A and B are shown apart, each in its own frame.
Chain A
Amino acid sequence: MLEARNLHKSFGELVATDDVSLEFGQEDGELVFIVGPNGAGKTTFINLLTGFLSPDEGSIVLDGDDITAMSADERVDAGIARSFQVVKVFEEMTVRENLRTVVLTERGKTWSLFSMADGHADVERTVDDLLSKFRLDDAANTVAEELPHGDRKLLDVAMSFGLDPDYLLLDEPTSGVSTREKEYVIETVVEVGREAGVTTVTIEHDMDIVTEYADRVVALHQGAVHGVGPPTMLETDDELRRLLLGVGE
């Protein structure tokens, strides 16, 4: 279980995370969506959990161990992977090379100076598997920077999956993706996540997607937890509706 305990984070006057305590992964493969208006502190929260930022106060606990002081790369080893709102992939590598690099790292093989990068059969199998799961086979030999946006998003998520995480934190995997491709991206994420039993925490602005796929919804507002509950909360909580959609007033 991944827990945030009383997290605080301020940037000068701005309180981005205000006493947030949340738990994820009571059940394997849980799909949690984080919603909230702009500036609610959603990305800051993910940044705190993954070690991109360190909290001013509070702690992060993974399966009973305090990991607040762990570096970002150590947290990845511990099983927490993330993606970024703006796609961050290795732009000059092909899709296959991107995934190979991730899997080599996950298997602890990147200190090998004299083996062939493409000569590890187990790694290549995993890479092929990821390519087909994320429907990137056709783009395998395309250089990342030349990919269409939807595929770039998929590659970004596939790379996070390649780390074989227990917890996957996705920062708007569908942002900037066309409506048609949105479904495709989120469905692939959900499908692969469920199959692998990965607990997924996703920031999402599209309420249709949240309603359709969420097991649980976390709503943030002005850095604090507004509410936690089933997706029906989006319909029943009038104040939340007002915050998110500006309706009901």
Chain B
Amino acid sequence: MPERVETDGETRYRFLGVEATRREAVALALGVVALFAIPDVTRLSDSLQLSVIHQGLLFGFAAVGLNLLLRHTKLTSFGHAAFFGTGAYATAVLAKYAGLQSVGLLLLGAIAAATVMAALVGALSLRHTGLYFALLTLAFGQLLYAIALGQSALGGSDGMPIRPGPANQPLLLGTTFEPAVYQILTYYLTVVVILVGLFVMYRITQSPFRNALDAIGQERTRARFIGLPVRRYVWAAFVISGVYGGVAGGLYAVVRQYVRPEGTLFFLRSGDILFMAILGGFRTLVGPLIGGVVLIFLQDVGQDVTQYYEFLTGVVLLVLVYGFPRGIVGSLRSGGVVSTRLRQLRREPSAVADWARSAGRTAERKAVESLSSLRIILFGVD
């Protein structure tokens, strides 16, 4: 049962090593309830689709993994779709060529494949940091994309179905289900996996291992000189983050029952995963997950509204970087920009005018800057 602890005059609750204030505990409980309630909620409205939210959660889960690198070691990977894709393709290959039907075994296969792939890519790209690391991860991701695209055994650009056995469907608890029921059950499976994954990640971010990663991210040279074999730690973090991607990819394959190179391995997917982490708030644990749902939802809605939906996500990214650099969760948290502004507004409603003015000034400045950049690009002079 939860145990009460008093720290700095604040009542906190501790359960299985997870410590939270009352407010956080309530938010957590509501979040879990909301996750389980989504299949019922989506039945109420046509604009909300279970498959969209489900997909958002899966990519968001990959972003949670990526965030271990981003937040603590401060390394930016542009190739995380590689592990998502490896998990997805491993599932497809095992279903097609090994005839594996059990969802559990398929997922274990996805985890194993993603672990090996992350260990390999990590070992080869972590010799470098910064831009070169980012480019190497991008290169390895594109390499895998090219392989999936080129190999007829992997279905080429058509991709591969995941329809093993006589039922043409992976088995949950050894049983087949109606497609609609299968969708809902796999969704609940995803929720359980996500909760376990978040719990594990939370514990990792409270552990001494996290201190080592933070040290490396904040002052790499000093980290070496307190005795940390830096590359080994970063490699371990890279593998863990890859495994999260692999689990997500495996679930994606099981849920969609189809994988294509574009949807899983293309480099824009890696960009999406990175964007999700930043959108949701990469300084938070659940931010990337929420970023995943929001981004996939935006892309889906955007596609209905306009063929230039990528413009829409571009605008969201700009607003975010200039207005809410801490992301959705980071801004909503107490002490975040949203609660600060709300308090300000309650005290002084005319503050809105000031914000508008300062936003206008920022927009004007940025416009001038981009015009001058454009001039330099076009004419080569300032």
Contact = CB atoms under 8 A, between A and B. Distances in A.
| Most chain A CB within a 10 A radius of its CB, from B206, B226, B228 | B226
Contact of A114 (B204, B224, B228): B204
B285 to A, nearest CB: 15
Interface stretch (B90-98, B136-144, B173-181, B207-215): B207-215
B207 A76 contact: no
Contacts of B221: 52, 84, 88
Nearest to B224: A72
| Most chain B CB within a 10 A radius of its CB, from A91, A97, A101, A163 | A101
A73 interface: yes
Contacts of B219: 88-91
A111 B17 CA distance: 18
Interface in A129-148: none
A170 B139 CA distance: 42
Interface in B195-236: 203-204, 206-212, 214-215, 218-219, 221-222, 224-230, 233
B226 A105 contact: yes
Contacts of A26: none
A110 interface: yes
A6 B214 CA distance: 38
Contact of A73 (B203, B209, B210, B228): B228
Nearest to B213: A110
Contacts of A224: none
Say what secondary structure dominates the interface of chain A.
Answer: loop
B209 A113 contact: yes
A34 to B, nearest CB: 18
Interface residues of A, number: 36
A105 B182 CA distance: 48
Nearest to B8: A141
A76 B227 contact: yes
B214 A50 contact: no
Nearest to A162: B226
Interface in A84-137: 84, 88-93, 97, 100-102, 104-106, 109-117, 120
A228 B206 CA distance: 49
A50 B225 contact: yes
Nearest to B236: A111
By Cβ-Cβ distance, the 6 closest A-B pairs, closest first, are: A76-B227, A110-B212, A88-B222, A101-B211, A90-B218, A104-B208
Given A93-B218, A113-B204, 13 more contacts: A71-B229, A73-B230, A77-B227, A90-B219, A91-B219, A93-B214, A106-B226, A110-B211, A110-B228, A111-B209, A113-B207, A117-B210, A159-B222
Interface of B: 17, 203-204, 206-212, 214-215, 218-219, 221-222, 224-230, 233
